[in-house]
Amino acid sequence: MIIESISVKGFKSLNNVTFEPGNVNVFIGANGAGKSTILEAIGVLSAAMTDRVDNSSLDRKGIRLSTPSLYKSSFRDTKKNPTIGFQIQWKDGQDQITYDVNLNNPNDDSAWRYHSEALYRNQEKLWGRSGNSQVQYDNRVGMLMLAQEVQLGIIKASAEQLKDYAIYQPSTPILRGISPDKYQATPLGLCGGRLAEAIEELLHTDEDGDMKFGDLYIDEVLELVDWAANFSVAAPKKSSINSAVPTSRRVIEFQDKFMREKDRFTAYDASEGSLYVLFLLCLAMHEKSPNVFAVDNFDQAMNPRLARATTRLFCEIIKKRNKTAFITTHNPLVLDGLKLNDPAVRLFTVERSKNDGTAQIKRIEVTDELISLDQPLSRLWINGRLGGVPNLL
Amino acid sequence: MKTIGFVCEGPRDSDMLEAVIRHILNEDITPLYLQPEASLDGENGNGWKGVWTWCLKNGNTLDQYMQGAIPKIDMIIIQMDGDVFRKEREVHCACYADECAASGEVFPLNCKIEDCPVVIPCGQHEAGISGCVEYLQNLLLSYFPGQYIPVCLIPCDSTDAWIVAAFDDFEDSETIADPWNNIISKKKDYHGIRVPGHKKTKTVYDKFIPVVCQNWESVKNRCSQAAYFDHAISAVL
Ligand SMILES: [Zn+2]
């Protein structure tokens, strides 16, 4: 699934936006500008197309539940959209596929109602429904649950790639294995649960007898976790764990460079930033992780140079595996890890319009003029050239 | 403890130089890893381009830069591999100044001229190890008009040559092109140390560095820039 464009109408602050993503999509903007809302909108779209939209389907995708009426845009000066609308276009081989949906969100906790829904291949309508349709479909479930195999054909497989979309937002206690993840999922919980198990699934020995972590040599991962001489996953042992700490079934064990080889300690005592790095690499490389996903606050707990190096490696993996990632960040050095002259990597600013408060999404492209300024993206961002900063001194 | 700034092509180079300094001085140091900001296309922020760019951007104000924060920087070490001399046209820009209107007008790394007259290997000056070292040192040190002149190190053909000099008794450690690919990582292991995927990772490099320190006398004898480095460190610190 190579997503070509996503449009959102009438969802929270996204009154009417369209953007064209690449493989790695980075959203920057002031606090409250609507970055997370974009990640949520993609989640609602994913639920609408592949499942249904209700509290439990949104919850599974890591979408913060709020009062139903707050989902709908309600700006004072704009014409209120009667429905919430989404459109996604993607390439399936040579074909351009378009999925279009309009939903009514109820004022109570029940499922959102489908107002209209349609699927097109190169503008030819393959499937659709609206109030005027002859076939009466359940107005609380979406296309992939309703349409027949023959109508969707091979498009079904590519549409399903959006099914597991979720917003990941790891938190330190969960990565450390000391609190449970309330958003559990395989291979990784949305808040960092199951990290030890996912790491274990990625660790293997290649035909030359070298240790690998997914596509990477373990030594390449240790570049980013540079205080560790090695890491592995094992059953919890009394010696390495404080008995007061509740733990999961498996624990990550680190060997510190400066300690004796047999001394190990667990994620409970490991550096926070390293756990985030391992989490992101698992997410990018695990065979069972979603093809399309989002990470809110990508750079949490990372030193600026670690954030930059992690971003660089993350982009390489996502591109190589042809996945699509949507990420938000507040760390300027994340931007310096982006190779923006590669169209697979895209940077967007998100800002609220001064006129009506609606969120606007702009793609920042690198032109020769900008390159000739000879300034890194981090500095251009902080100095205001890219937008996406609050007006503070 | 001395504070030493490293302007190196990559982290493996500063790892090596740092360890060698600790070995020579037999005391700990505080390292600072200095790096220019990357340009928008992700270039000029590291590697030989990063080193050159750092000199361009910090040369004029180096004294203030070193003294302007506490702890002050006691020494700055600039490292660029000698292979740049034989491989990269940009560093020979000045050699062909007469034949190019853009020469001197624009920093060579930002020059977009299409019919660049530079040919490599450059025949405009003395070749060989000493010619290469002298040329690159002059190029980089020309950016420092102030009081303090950094230590400028041009290991030939690269810092990796010091590893070869520590392990093998070759007569030509400095003239072997690309020792990492042609010697060290050519097979799956080098003198019993595995090099997974031919990659120059920190884990692997950290196994070679202690041997370089252990055999530092041999490395100095086999690599002129190692001897120069030893001298520069001992003399100043
Ligand atoms: Zn020349």
Q: Is residue B58 part of a domain?
A: yes
Q: Is residue B6 part of a domain?
A: yes
Residue A393: its pLDDT value, please? 66
Strand order in the sheet with B151-153: B29-33, B2-7, B75-79, B151-153
Residue A357: its pLDDT value, please? 87
Residue A81: its pLDDT value, please? 65
Q: Is residue B156 part of a domain?
A: yes
Q: Is residue B109 part of a domain?
A: no
What are the two backbone dihedrals, phi and then psi, of residue B27, each rounded to the nearest 5 degrees?
Answer: -155, 165
Residue A374: its pLDDT value, please? 76
- What is the arithmetic mean of pLDDT over B217-234? 96
Q: How confident is the model at residue B43 (pLDDT cuts 50, 70, 90)?
A: confident
The percentage of residues in chain B with a pLDDT greater than 90, rounded to a whole number, is: 76
Token pair of B80 as six digits: 């660029």
Q: Is residue B169 part of a domain?
A: yes
Q: What is the tens place of the pLDDT at every residue in B99-151?
A: 888 888 889 998 888 888 998 888 888 878 999 999 999 999 999 999 999 99
Q: What is the tens place of the pLDDT at every residue in B142-158?
A: 999 999 999 999 999 99
Q: Is residue B199 part of a domain?
A: yes
Cβ within 8 Å, pair A376-B188: no
CA A338 vs CA A30, B15, B43, B176: distances in Å = 20, 25, 11, 35
pLDDT at B65 over 80: yes
Q: Find residue A361's DSSP bridge partners.
A: A350
Residue B202 sits at the chain A interface (C-beta within 8 Å): yes
Amino acid identity of A157? A
Residue A133: its pLDDT value, please? 79
pLDDT at B66 over 80: yes
Amino acid identity of A190? L
Q: Which of A220, A366, A379 sits opposite B41 (nearest CB)?
A: A366
| Per-residue model confidence as pLDDT tens for chain A (393 residues) | 899 999 999 999 999 999 999 999 999 998 888 999 999 999 999 999 999 999 999 999 999 777 776 777 777 655 666 789 999 999 998 999 999 999 998 777 789 999 999 999 999 999 999 888 788 889 999 999 888 877 788 888 999 999 999 999 999 999 998 888 888 899 999 999 999 999 999 999 999 999 999 999 999 999 999 888 889 898 887 665 555 555 567 888 999 888 887 778 888 888 899 999 999 999 999 999 999 999 999 998 899 999 999 999 999 999 999 999 999 999 999 999 998 889 999 999 999 988 888 999 999 988 877 777 778 889 888 888 888 888 776
Cβ within 8 Å, pair A219-B196: yes
Cβ within 8 Å, pair B41-A219: no
Cite the beta strand spans of A178-285 per DSSP E. Answer: 203-205, 211-213, 216-217, 228-234, 251-256, 265-266
Residue B48: its pLDDT value, please? 96
Token pair of A175 as six digits: 């990565």
**Rounded to the nearest 5 degrees, what angle is found at the Cα of A386, between the Cα atoms of A385 and A388?**
120
Ordered DSSP codes for A213-236: ETTEEHHHHHHHSTTEEEEEEE--
Residue A265: its pLDDT value, please? 82
The total of structural domains in chain B comes to: 1
Token pair of A361 as six digits: 């999404």
CA B191 vs CA B184, B186, B218: distances in Å = 9, 12, 17
Residue B199 sits at the chain A interface (C-beta within 8 Å): yes
The answer to whether the Cα torsion of B83, B89, B91, B97 is positive or negative is: positive
- Of all residues in chain A, the one with the smallest CA distance to B33 is A305
Residue B12: its pLDDT value, please? 94
Average pLDDT, chain B: 92
Cβ within 8 Å, pair B38-A376: yes
DSSP character at residue A131: T
State how far residue A66 is from chain B, nearest Cα, in angstroms: 40
Which residues does chain B have within 8 Å of residue A372's beta carbon, measured at their own beta carbons? 110
Domain that holds residue B44: 2-83+129-236
What is residue B105's three-state secondary structure? coil
Cβ within 8 Å, pair B37-A366: no
ipTM: 0.79
Contact B190, B183 (CB under 8 A): yes
Q: Half-sphere exposure of B133 toward its Cβ, with a 13 Å CA cutoff?
A: 19
CA A19 vs CA A86, A215, A364: distances in Å = 12, 31, 11
Q: Is residue B118 part of a domain?
A: no
A64 versus B53: the higher-pLDDT residue is: B53
Chain A interface, best mutation among B33, B37, B40, B198, by max A CB count within 10 A: B40
Amino acid identity of B33? Y
- Residues 6 or more apart in contact with residue A24 via CB below 8 angstroms: A314, A315, A318, A319, A325, A327, A338, A344, A345, A346
Q: Is residue B120 part of a domain?
A: no
Residue A242: its pLDDT value, please? 56
Q: Is A367 exposed, middle or buried (0-12, 13-18, 19+ CB in 10 A)?
A: exposed
